[in-house]
Structures are given as structure tokens and as C-alpha cells.
Structure 1
Amino acid sequence: MTTSHRLSRRTLLRATAAAGGAALLSSCARGSGDAVDLAYWNFFGGSDGKLMVELVNRFRTEAPNVRVTDTTLMWGPPYYTKLAMACAGGRAPDLATMHGSRLSTFGRDLLDEWDLDELAARGVSLDEFPQPVLDRVLVDGRLMALPLDTHPLVLYYNTDICEKAGLLAPDGTLAPIHGAEQMLDAGRRAAEVTGAIGIALGSLHEAHIWMPFWSAYRQLGGQMRLPDGGPAEVDRDAMVGAMTFLRDLCDGTICSPSLDGQSSPAAFASQQAGFLFVGPWEVTSARTAGIPFSMTQFPALFGDTPYVRADSHSFVLPTQAQVDPAARSAAYDMAVSMLRNSLAWAAGGGHIPALSAVADSPEYLAEKPVSNYREAAQVVEFDPEAYFSGSGSTLMARAGQSLQGVTGRSLTPEQGADDLIGWLDDQLTLGSPL
């Protein structure tokens, strides 16, 4: 049975606060043939949305007795606001998708932990996931989110343009890039070929500009702790260094400072740029354009290790007023099914599979160019932990203003760093609303 709809705000506001309880899944009172209702929320649209529908339908085929109601809500703050309200009101779905970086948004009381024994009974153990991803979804030793994938910032490159610019290795892949100066030089050489720009980056889109900033900041050794009450514990020198790179990048020749989240991938798709800095999801637009391109791991601009900003689409068990053991068991079944069938999710959407059985499979390794950057899963850097941090968060939006001031040259890197640090200090005095 296929049921899809959108939830109204009124429905969520009617929920009343209640504590969630743990379910003993093995004590399910229903017989194995009885129908089970399962509510699942996600935020996937576009090509990712189509791929997620395929995964859900695959589970429907595997478990015909489970009646899945899948609800797609608007990505970003609207999704997380409604999910938090539903959790607080005890009327949450049985299963939901969440960015690993947003776990802090939900504090410690709005999600139930995953039972490792129940996962083991379905053939899944923690040693099958990349350690950097596990480090983010484990809270005080408890698994609070089950990772489906990792999606880091990656480097797209047009093979024809790069060949003409002398940037390819003998095997036809991009010659290794070591350091910020080599990346900037590669952009200049690509711009000479395109007659436009060398690198496309949506500097006017807060997520697109945040990804290379956070990658460079972490490569420079920058740490960021955001304790309640403040002040923010940051490395100002590393912040200035990362912002200086972005300013030098967006000089109008290497990269235009006026591209946004749509015009940036469009510039690459129309071959007006030889490179593109963005997440792996734009593989769809590049393929649709029919241009000669490939993808590789984002380079080490500073230091020897290519630390890179990333996030993880993960499954969570929202706290409910009363847990239905049968529905909770079905939630485990559905999540594991989607993990095990995530090859199409990876091949079509560019995401790195979290489950090693898929990530190490010959089938995934044969998927080019999306498997080229699979090793990035071992060096991913999530956003700093805070209730206002993570994908689609207030931090990303406000940091975007500081970064855009630098790339647009209305702020120096030093001024941009001080602007962001000042905002962080102010934000930390407000305290979490949860």
C-alpha cells in the first residue's frame, strides 16, 4: 500500500508533550501476517526524492504486510521545526531522516537510541560504518542515528577543458592538486580555456560557500567549540586563512563572486567553468548536460590530509508518547533494507554508502565517477556541535553573510572572521530552545 501526504502545522500543534518509552521488539503482540502501519518522514526532493521513493517502494515489496505512509516535508528549517514539534508532542513518525550534523538540534530527549542487538539480529554492526561518521552519530556511547550515506564536498572537473589546460595525468584523470596555490593556478588555467571562469562556486549560497570554508578551516587545524553560554572557542588565524583563500578564489577570473546555488552548477554544466565545488548531488545535472566530466576527492589545500566538510543522511527513531512494538520493529526492518539497497542511492545521487557491504562492493566501485571519492568518508569533518549548527541551520546562514562579505570584498578576511566570531558569541548567550 502506498500512501503519501503532507502534514499541516495544525496537526502538529495539537500534539501534547509526553515522554517516549522503549519498545521490546521481540514481544510484538501481532502475528507475522498482521498488517503494520509505519509512518516515515523525509525531506528529499528532486532526483534524491525519486531515489528515496524507489528505496521505500523496494521495502514495500519486501514487506507487503507493512503499510508505509511516507511524508515529504520541505528541506531545511521547516522540516526540523516540524519534526522537533512532533517529537516534543509525542506524535512523531515511527522513522525519520535527519542530517547527522543536526543531532545537537534535538538535544537528548527527542530521539530514541538504536538498539544494537536489534540491528545485529538484522545483520548490521557498528564496525560496518566509517569511524568519522560514527563519531558524530554516537552520543555518550549511544547510537542516536543510523547512517545511510556520507555526502562530502567534492571536486568536479571537465575532462576536455582540463586536458586543454594541461591539468590531466597520463591516465586521463585530474593530476593531483597539492595546496591552495595549485588549486588557484588550476582555476586560472581552466579560465584561459573557457574564456569565462575556471571554478564555479555558489558563493551567494550559504551552504555552497560554507563547505569549502569549513574544509579549509579544518585543514588549517582550526577547532571550534560552541559551549552553552559562550564564548565561542575558535582559531581566529585559521579562520582568517580560510577566508583569505575564498577571497583569492573569488577574484572574478578564477571564480565569480556573484554565483548562487543554481548559476554555479549551471556554469559548469554549460562548460563556462572547468571545475565545480559542491556536494555530490550535482552529478545529476552534470550527467543531464551530457558534458565530459569526472569527480574526485576535494584536495588538501592546507597540510597533507584532505579533511572535507560533509554530512550524513541518517535514520532516527523519534520519541513517541507510546511506542508500538510492531511499528518499531518495522522501522528497524525498513532502515536496514534501505541501507542494504543503497547502491542505487549512491550511483544515482553521488552519496557515499555508509554501509561497508555496499561501499566495498564491486558494483559500487564500478560506478564512475561517483566511487572516485569514496575515501573521503575517512576524513570527513562535520559542522561544529551546537543547537544552531548543521545543514540548513542558522549558523550556516549567518556564516554565509560573513563569507559573502569577504568574497564580495566588502569585508577583509580579518573583518569577516571577527564578524562571525562576534555573532557566535552572541548566539551562545541565548541558550537552546529545546
Structure 2
Amino acid sequence: MFFLSLFAILTTVFMTACGGNENEGNNTGESEQEIPGDVDVEAAEIVLDFWNGFTGPDGQEIAKIIADFNELNEGEIAIRTQTMPWDNFYDQYRTVVVNGEAPDVAIMALDRIAGFAQHDLLTPLDDLAKDIGLVEEDFIPEVWKAGEFEGSRYGIPLDIHPLTLFYNVDLLEEAGYTEPPKDYDELLEMSLAVQENTDAWGIAMPVFWPSNMIFHTSLYSHGGTSVSEEDGITPLFNSPEGVEALQKMVDLVYTHEVSPSDVQADGEVTLFRQGNSAFHLNGIWMIAGFEEQEGLNFATAPVPAFGDEQVVWAGSHNFVIPTQQDEDPERLEASMKFIQYVTENSIQWVSAGQVPATYSVLESDEFKELEHQYNASQQTFAFPPTSPFFGDAWGPTGPAVDEAMLGQLTPEEALERAEKEGEANAREASGQ
């Protein structure tokens, strides 16, 4: 089951799925250019520039797909990639588009699309997508709809990357369990049992990134909402549902004591890697890193429902076509042919740690064999809204949640402050 709800992240606090965490590669600040595949580039009729921020292991997977495309279309189309850390990507994107030096194709996080579309930095894709048969029926409806802004389509979804539960199979078996928890009470019960029967923690709750994703997940699980759907700028997370959602996170540390209270940045990842915690909440992109960890017997599952509903934060990488100074129909057609090829052959991409955005891949036998990714796909996803100002309204929850997790503020104090800051930020950004 899938449904659309609201979420965007404050990029300066935590990056979207493909940056800002330990498994996402070398954020050196340098860009890398290459033409994947064994092809004669000079023989190509059209050479397209493709910008993305896949600097880590995911970059190796997209390069393999591009190499296949280049070899299949040798003499006609060649894709030249420009890869840079997400920290720098959006500023550089804005600069080159404004200067009339835009790449042909780019990848953009779903929560960024509305802001760039608002300033005419993206090309509408409605007719282009229809011309090559990219239709809503093959995409998960909510992630397809989330690529629209003010009635026009600006994004073609490549994937979905949700928050996921990782658990240590051996520790659970030692505590007497063979199945993962489905709700908060079971998570607490199993965590206590692990601590009674082993030397490990039940769970290590992050103080910093991705604590905000966990709060968003708990908020919607409790029936709360983040920002007004009517105007996209009024914070609504400072509510009884929001306070209870954050309190349950804090209680795992200070009341139930199934999580350490002094977790440093990425410390929860280290504890799980070393077999010193039974449960770990993080994005699906952690799969590859955990698979490489020697001696770690782990599995994935839907995030336990902290409230009455099972719902998790999810983001998505989308293909976009930057606004061109001089639009060339042949280059646009070639760009869409490339997007279509990657979309239809995304099984290789999702194997690196994503959920496919298309039913044709999601329901394939090849995807079902990817046990970790398949388990993560069996969740209700909450996607970003199509508001240019959502990040301004929601962003202050990041540091507020961190201070609550550190015991420096109560959940009520943290959310009250975040609400005031978020509303002020969003109204200033929107000119109201």
C-alpha cells in the first residue's frame, strides 16, 4: 500500500539518501567526468551531458547502466557523466542553468523539484514523457504524482529510498525471537529481551541524522502531519500527535533505557556493524555497507509502527531536464530515450540499495530475489510535498529533535521552538 504525504528534509542538516552518511562515498568537493562504456565518442551524433551526485557505490552501478546504453547506441548517442557531491550539486546546477550552460539531463532529489521549477530552472516533461510511453500506470502513483508542480510534470522517478528497520538475526534468536517487531510495543519488548540475554543494546537511537526521518515517521504513524497542505508553509507538527511521536523516541533512551544516551554522529551505525545493538533505523541505502560487514548476520523489515499506522519517510531520485538556453528537439528526444532506458532497466540500480519506482521492476522476479530491498518495499511511504517552501517550514525540526534526543529540551519545548522558527522561515522565503 502506498500513499502521498508530506516531507522534505533540511539539506544542511542531513542530505537526501545519497550523501551525508558514511556509506555514500567520497564527498571531496571535486567533480568527476567520464564516458562509461567502450565506445568511440567522436562517432556519436549526439553527446549528452548527465549531471548527478552519485559519488559512492551507487555511482558505480549507474555507470554500468550508462555503459550498456552507450554501447547499445554507439554511433548515435553517448552519455558523458559529470558527478559531484550533493553538497555542491544544487548550487552548481543553478549557476550553469542561469548562465545558459545547462547539462542535458540531471538527477534531482524529489524535495528539490518544486523550488527549481518555480524559478524556471526545469523543463516541463508532460509531452516528452508521453511521446516515449512513460505513463503513470507503470509508476507507483504517489511517487509519480510527487514529480508534478502547479499542474506540470518536472521529474521522472528513478527510485524510492525509504527508512527501513535493520535487525541482527543472531541477537534476536538469542533473545528468543525469530520475527522482527511490527509495532513500538514489540520493539520495546524485544529490545529489553536482547539486553537481558546478551551483552548488546536493544537499539541505538541516533542523536543526529537520521533522527529527523525517524521523527517524521513517528509523527505520521501517530496520525500527525508536518505542514499545511493548503499553503505548504504553515507548520503543523507541534501538536499532541507530534509531542507523543517525539516522546516515544526519547523514552527509548531515558525511560526504557534500551538505547545509549550518548550516541555520537554515526555511532549507532558502528554499534550495529559490530553486533552491539539488535535494531537499527536508517535508510535502505545502508544495505550495501552492512552486506560488506564481516560477521554481521542482518535482515531488513518494515519500520515498526510507533503509533497506530505503519508509515515511513521516503525520498526519491528523479530525472530532470534543465532549462536550455536554445532548445534542441533532437537532443531532448535523445535525453528522453536515455531516461526511458535507465527507468526500464533499473533492476541493476535498485540492487545497490533502492526500491524501484515502476511496477514492471517492483513486481519482477529479479526484484523479489533481492530480499533486503523487497522487505523494505513492503511499507507505506510518505513522500515530499510539491511546495518550494516546505523545507523552510519543516527544517527547524532537525536541530529541535536532536536537542530532545540529547535531553536538552523536552519534546514540547523542542517542537514549540521549531514551529516558531519554521513559520518565520517559510513566510520570509515566500514573501508573505
TM over 0.5: yes
Report the TM range for the smaller structure's normalisation. 0.7 to 0.9
Per-residue displacement from partner, 1:273-329 (whole Å, max 9, x unpaired)? 1111000111111111131111011122211x3111000111011111112222211
Using a 3 Å threshold, how does the CA distance of structure 1 residues 56 and 258 change in structure 2: closer, same or farther? farther
2:388 alignment partner AA: Y
Higher alpha-carbon deviation: 396-405 or 313-322: 396-405
RMSD of aligned alpha carbons: 2.5
Residue 385 of structure 2 corresponds to residue 360 of structure 1: no
Using a 3 Å threshold, how does the CA distance of structure 1 residues 67 and 197 change in structure 2: closer, same or farther? same
Residue 299 of structure 2 corresponds to residue 294 of structure 1: yes
Relative to the length of structure 1, the TM-score reads 0.82
CA distance in 2 between counterparts of 1:314 and 1:273 reads: 34
CA distance in 2 between counterparts of 1:37 and 1:229 reads: 39
State the partner residue of 1:416.
Answer: 414
Structure 1: gaps (5+ residues): 9-32
Residue of structure 2 aligned with 1:275, choices 270, 279, 282: 279
Q: Is the 8 A contact 2:202 2:258 kept in 1?
A: yes
Q: Is the 8 A contact 1:210 1:396 kept in 2?
A: no
Using a 3 Å threshold, how does the CA distance of structure 1 residues 398 and 194 change in structure 2: closer, same or farther? farther
1:6 alignment partner AA: S
Matched residues, percent identical? 25
Q: Is the 8 A contact 1:315 1:335 kept in 2?
A: yes
CA distance in 2 between counterparts of 1:204 and 1:130 reads: 31
1:60 alignment partner AA: N
Residue of structure 2 aligned with 1:219, choices 218, 221, 225: 221
Residue of structure 2 aligned with 1:89, choices 91, 95, 99: 99
2:62 alignment partner AA: M
Per-residue displacement from partner, 1:305-362 (whole Å, max 9, x unpaired)? 311100011101111111222221121111111111211211222x111111111101
Higher alpha-carbon deviation: 260-269 or 352-361: 260-269
Q: Is the 8 A contact 1:160 1:292 kept in 2?
A: yes
SS at match of 2:275: coil
State the partner residue of 1:340.
Answer: 344
Shift in Å, 1:245: 1.3
**Pairing of 1:318-329 with structure 2 (within 5 A):** 318-329=322-333
CA distance in 2 between counterparts of 1:229 and 1:202 reads: 28
State the partner residue of 2:182.
Answer: 177
Residue 377 of structure 2 corresponds to residue 374 of structure 1: yes
Using a 3 Å threshold, how does the CA distance of structure 1 residues 405 and 97 change in structure 2: closer, same or farther? same
SS at match of 2:165: strand
**Pairing of 1:24-39 with structure 2 (within 5 A):** 35-39=45-49
CA distance in 1 between counterparts of 2:301 and 2:269 reads: 16
CA distance in 2 between counterparts of 1:355 and 1:361 reads: 10
Shift in Å, 1:385: 4.9
Structure 2: gaps (5+ residues): 1-29, 34-42
**Pairing of 1:11-22 with structure 2 (within 5 A):** none
Per-residue displacement from partner, 1:26-84 (whole Å, max 9, x unpaired)? xxxxxxx86102111101122112112112222212222323221112114x2122222
Aligned residues: 388
CA distance in 2 between counterparts of 1:198 and 1:312 reads: 30
SS at match of 1:372: helix
CA distance in 2 between counterparts of 1:195 and 1:395 reads: 42
SS at match of 2:371: coil
Residue of structure 2 aligned with 1:154, choices 164, 176, 186: 164
Per-residue displacement from partner, 1:172-209 (whole Å, max 9, x unpaired)? xx2x523x23222222223334424211343222xx10
Residue 227 of structure 2 corresponds to residue 241 of structure 1: no
Q: Is the 8 A contact 1:156 1:293 kept in 2?
A: yes
